[in-house]
């Protein structure tokens, strides 16, 4: 009788060894054959007649004028109404709460919530450290926390009162 030394199982093809082992993964297909020569670029273009050139310049000027008017209108809308604003930041994170809603930023990630998108805003202070945490809860049961490190533990109370003033002013207005 013959006996085999070692394992009787066969080695598996895995993605670490063979990327083709992943089902549904296919190699990219080139859109053009490699031996195809690109079309030559024309050396000279015909200059448009003077009338067409003048019409093109007028169209460009009209577009520029309409863009400046369109840009001027949003500036009028962005004028902030009188009211409390909460802003706190450290070297990595930033929180701004004002008439438009709450904006959170951490490193290069940012998110913005309008007041009608917010279900609750929760604050928490660390017991021994200087971290102040603001968590925005949405109605669809998601939450977005941001921690800010204060320069002094006494700054937490100041931030709490500023944020409460903003929440009392704007959050209660949009509540159903």
> Does the residue 144 lie in any domain?
yes
Strands 120-125 and 109-114: unpaired
> Does the residue 31 lie in any domain?
no
> Does the residue 13 lie in any domain?
no
Copy the structure tokens of residue 9. Answer: 């199982």
Task: Give CA–CA dist 110/131, Å, rounded.
Answer: 19
Task: Give CA–CA dist 97/166, Å, rounded.
Answer: 7
> pLDDT tens-digit profile of 30-68?
666 666 666 666 655 555 566 677 777 777 777 766 665
> Does the residue 123 lie in any domain?
yes
Residue 107 belongs to domain with CATH number: 2.30.29
Task: Give CA–CA dist 111/35, Å, rounded.
Answer: 48
> pLDDT tens-digit profile of 61-73?
777 666 655 555 5
Q: pTM of this prediction?
A: 0.53
> Does the residue 48 lie in any domain?
no
Q: Which domain holds residue 164?
A: 86-174
Structural element, H or E, at residue 53: helix 50-77
Q: What total number of domains does the chain contain?
A: 1
- Using left for φ > 0, alpha for ψ between -120 and 50, and beta otherwise, residue 21 falls in alpha
């Amino acid at each position: 009788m013959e006996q085999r030394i070692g394992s009787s199982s066969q080695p598996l093809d895995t993605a670490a060894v063979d990327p083709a082992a992943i089902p549904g993964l296919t190699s990219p297909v080139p859109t053009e054959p490699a031996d195809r020569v690109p079309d030559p670029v024309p050396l000279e273009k015909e200059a448009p007649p003077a009338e067409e050139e003048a019409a093109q310049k007028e169209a460009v000027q009209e577009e520029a004028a309409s863009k400046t008017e369109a840009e001027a209108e949003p500036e009028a809308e962005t004028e902030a109404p009188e009211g409390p604003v909460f802003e706190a930041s450290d070297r990595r994170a930033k929180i701004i709460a004002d008439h438009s809603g709450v904006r959170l930023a951490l490193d290069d990630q940012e998110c913005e919530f309008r007041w009608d998108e917010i279900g609750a805003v929760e604050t928490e202070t660390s017991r021994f450290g200087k971290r102040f945490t603001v968590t925005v809860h949405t109605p669809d049961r998601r939450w977005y926390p941001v921690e800010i490190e204060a320069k002094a533990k006494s700054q937490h109370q100041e931030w709490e009162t500023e944020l409460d003033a903003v929440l009392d002013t704007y959050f209660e207005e949009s509540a159903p």
